Structure 1
């Protein structure tokens, strides 16, 4: 690749990026990888890429930059982008493509990228919840498509036995009145049909969030709020098949006192499994988002990061069942599980399609989390209402909840 001479990299003892276990499921690209929203990529112009089987000397590297010998026996591959157009197929000028490019079992083919419903076994789903990760890109850039999310949820409410719909924040992208008006218009289509709730994200101002959704009819769906005149922190009870749940919406990077309030309510209702929704908690690598990760709440308008929430709140309450969030853009629905202080299993999920929406001009992705009748299993389904197919085989999976 093109480079500059006399450039020093500081902190060479530190890795530039951690490896994500599910990253091999995405096709790699030159200069970075297929992660949406990733800042870890080369931001300059790449003229060519070559790989050698031997260690190159500084003199050889300099010579290769200007006059690479394609007959070099140590050359594995060589791609040159100098004169190509966007639609050109790039050939390996070393002529080794068949040798060094065997079919990659981790490469996501078009066949694996889009999944038909008939390929999925949904027969064991007794009930489900639908989650809308950050809708900001669709709402702002492709507003004519926003209705597709709610069209599909309403169409599939009986098929998936959807008992609740929850937005995970960043309802808007630029906090514009038109974005708020459209969001309320679409959510209200669910009113009286499927219970629903919304979380405030860091792109959503408290003022407009409360003005838009703080009306009497929406407040009536809450069983309680932390602050009388605000709806950022609320809870609702839900009963399905004889099982009881308490569902929380918590503010972006919740304050200590908010988590204390939620914790007391959870402890006061041991008969309920607690489902926590908030905008930021889990990071794309499956760990709780901390200060070293992208856009931590503690320094971007919130108070506690994901790791703080785990230590101060989530791990301490034995009936916390699920924690779900958006905020960190990723093509995959990320699930991780941790044991709380009493040994209870907490399932944590990141659902944020904003980067996918940007790359696909509004994919309109909906995440269904379906549950077995005995509550021991869950199934994830990730559907594009725009493409009318499920997005990636790796996003359709089963979770053991015991």
Structure 2
């Protein structure tokens, strides 16, 4: 750059000007003529060089004045301009009216300082906010509320008083409770907690509380809706505070709050015990919408002994769905660069570890729970060998303070007790930990533990780590393309039964689920509607649940769904709108966002008798085919028909028989399409009328003309072969699965077989399910590239309670993943799955669930 000559200033008025150019704070020294209105002095008078002549101010200043008459109010830009560049100080050598075009090489600041854009001088990065500040963590308080009276000596209140006594001296900015506020969710226990926190309310001390598992218990039984939390800590208790951000829905169990220290911004996000998927989705959106905040996530159950993720949330005995510690990491924490800390309790221990998020940012994870520390009045700590989870244990007042040092960009964990000096808790009043190497009970069955060091000065209780919280967090969100998610409830309305789910999956991992819903009270119990709900990749809601058909009259059943490459989808079902007991096949098309495209009512051209059990399949370009069971004689001997449609719902070919005759009974059709819209249909067939069903298949061209003749799928004809399932790959090859009882003994297994696009056998019959017990209701999905997935209702142990099992295969029939259990909750019946797989390998399952064994079914989904 060219050198900037500095003015002599003699005989001139010098003005120091701070202004902003191009987003930078600029310090400029401006020299103007003696009358302070014009800059008409020749440059020879200033720098000794030959006067270069005036340049038209119309070019330079666009002020309309004559040549040389530039008002000093234009600040004579370019004279001595300095600014902050790359943390150092630099001079501007060339600029226009808006920004500096050329900066000199920045001169680095020294001694750990950097150029402060507010003052354009070298300062410490923390500027005017270098004093340490802190937050306080309250571990599980459940035994202070259940074992101590509600008075000033309650340890819970002592902890609150300590916070208030040290608020000013320690710069306490926020207080965090990690859950298990109460032990048994009783009014008396909640009152103790409420009174303790009222001390913070009165002082205007910001804090957050959320639930642990004990905060949901009702007479010892866990229930999501049974917590008294919102009676004592409703949103209204916090709403008037500027630091309170809000909550998920009307309940305050999931809440978020803010605190700032100068320009350093923090959000504290508290989520429920074993968070449900919709809560994780809400939290995910919330974190993403605050990229300039350093986020502290608080959840009760996250880490366990040794620093791994807790798999015990939810507790298997609770028969509840929710996220394990690893699911919270995978589905929320790991995706965000600005979640820098996770705080948890639940497990009696002190653990700390650092993980790296998908974005490369550090995440400091901390378990703080001393609730099982018991009182010991022995003469020395060495004699306290049986005071962990034994006798009078409640936590002994231990808590933790996290001290943030902006000058060092460090955080120090300081663990201490408010009962220091209490001789009724510690030997001679000297604090020590008893759930430690000291624990050596006489009875080996006693349930205490050796979880951490007895010395409070141990690095397990006192430690420090570095984290840059002075600067805003680096922006970044990355799921790594992972679409797995834990069990989640599909149906929003929980009244009545929800049955017969089906699912369709897009290439990107978005999916739509349909099912039979009996939540409406207007048409009587047992009169079902068809509902649908859309989900984004990873299981968050894309569009809300809605009724598929235009009105809720009559009875609808047997939903089927198919999706094209763009995510547009078609739903078909058996419809008895007029409630006369006679069904027709109806269908409706939707855009990917759930808005309607077209309606076909009815699909079948002949309305006589019963038309039921539709199956719909769709090509990538949106062409689709519907097959169904036609019993126009109403004699139970159904036949299989199909009809083809364009992507807009117009007819491509009219109703036609799949098997070209009307012999015996043909039931339960399934249809599939390849990339060119060529068709395969399978069904269970008893055309000879002997009462024994076989699985048949037939292929058709996209226009409905014959492609290959009817074939028998199963190689062994003995016994019963029922409930066919079908999947077709892009190249037309297909796989069939079915329920097989070859010996006629009533114990079914799941078999499968693969074929070429021409209907020739490609992989011989093979067993999908393990031997023994009952295996029913198979479903099958084939990815465009040929990998396939089979799922079924499984009762291997023969106790009558089914689970959802699955097994996946490469296109050549080799195992992609061996048999596994899909459902998280093992209690109660889980049955009638739907499943889908795509080429990237995403898998989605849906099924009927009665995990709480109350006789009412809901629809659950899970992604892998």
Name the TM tier (shorter chain). Answer: 0.5 to 0.7
- Contact kept in structure 2, 1:287 and 1:336, CA below 8 Å: no
Partner secondary structure for residue 200 of structure 2: coil
Q: What residue in structure 2 maps to residue 393 of structure 1? A: 457
Q: Does 1:379 align with 2:412?
A: yes
- Contact kept in structure 2, 1:252 and 1:302, CA below 8 Å: no
CA shift, 1:298, in A, is 6.0
State how far apart, in whole Å, the 2-side matches of 1:159 and 1:168 are. 24
Return the match for 1:328 from 329, 340, 347: 347
Aligned positions of 1:3-402 closer than 5 A: 126-143=132-149, 144-191=154-201, 192-205=203-216, 206-214=226-234, 216-221=236-241, 222-227=244-249, 229-290=250-311, 295-297=312-314, 299=316, 300=318, 301=320, 303-330=322-349, 333-357=350-374, 358=389, 361-362=393-394, 363-374=396-407, 376-388=409-421, 392-394=456-458, 395-401=461-467
- Contact kept in structure 1, 2:178 and 2:300, CA below 8 Å: yes
State how far apart, in whole Å, the 2-side matches of 1:219 and 1:168 are. 21
Greater Rg over alpha carbons, structure: 2
- Contact kept in structure 1, 2:342 and 2:364, CA below 8 Å: yes
CA shift, 1:390, in A, is 6.5
- Contact kept in structure 2, 1:135 and 1:354, CA below 8 Å: yes
- Contact kept in structure 2, 1:337 and 1:346, CA below 8 Å: yes
Partner secondary structure for residue 131 of structure 1: strand
Q: What residue in structure 2 maps to residue 9 of structure 1? A: none
Compare 143-152 and 339-348 and name the one that shifted more.
Answer: 143-152
CA shift, 1:401, in A, is 2.6
State how far apart, in whole Å, the 1-side matches of 2:176 and 2:303 are. 17
The alpha-carbon distance between structure 1 residues 241 and 284, as it changes in their structure 2 partners (threshold 3 A), is farther
CA shift, 1:216, in A, is 1.7
- Contact kept in structure 1, 2:247 and 2:255, CA below 8 Å: yes
Q: What residue in structure 2 maps to residue 20 of structure 1? A: none
CA shift, 1:137, in A, is 1.4
- TM superposition score normalised by structure 1: 0.64
Q: What residue in structure 2 maps to residue 114 of structure 1? A: none
CA shift, 1:364, in A, is 1.1
- After superposition, what is the alpha-carbon deviation per residue over 1:107-132, rounded to whole angstroms, capped at 9, x for unaligned? xxxxxxxxxxxxxxxxx971111010
CA shift, 1:237, in A, is 2.0
State how far apart, in whole Å, the 1-side matches of 2:240 and 2:255 are. 11
Partner secondary structure for residue 215 of structure 2: coil
- Number of paired residues? 272
Aligned CA RMSD, in angstroms, stands at 2.0
CA shift, 1:145, in A, is 3.1
State how far apart, in whole Å, the 1-side matches of 2:398 and 2:414 are. 10
- Contact kept in structure 2, 1:283 and 1:289, CA below 8 Å: yes
State how far apart, in whole Å, the 1-side matches of 2:131 and 2:416 are. 16
Partner secondary structure for residue 363 of structure 2: strand
The alpha-carbon distance between structure 1 residues 400 and 139, as it changes in their structure 2 partners (threshold 3 A), is same
- Any unmatched runs of 5+ in structure 1? 1-123
The alpha-carbon distance between structure 1 residues 137 and 302, as it changes in their structure 2 partners (threshold 3 A), is farther
- Highest relative contact order (Cα 8 Å, sep 6+), 1 or 2? 1
- TM superposition score normalised by structure 2: 0.30
- After superposition, what is the alpha-carbon deviation per residue over 1:20-66, rounded to whole angstroms, capped at 9, x for unaligned? xxxxxxxxxxxxxxxxxxxxxxxxxxxxxxxxxxxxxxxxxxxxxxx
- Contact kept in structure 1, 2:174 and 2:206, CA below 8 Å: yes
CA shift, 1:374, in A, is 4.6
CA shift, 1:249, in A, is 0.8
Q: What residue in structure 2 maps to residue 23 of structure 1? A: none
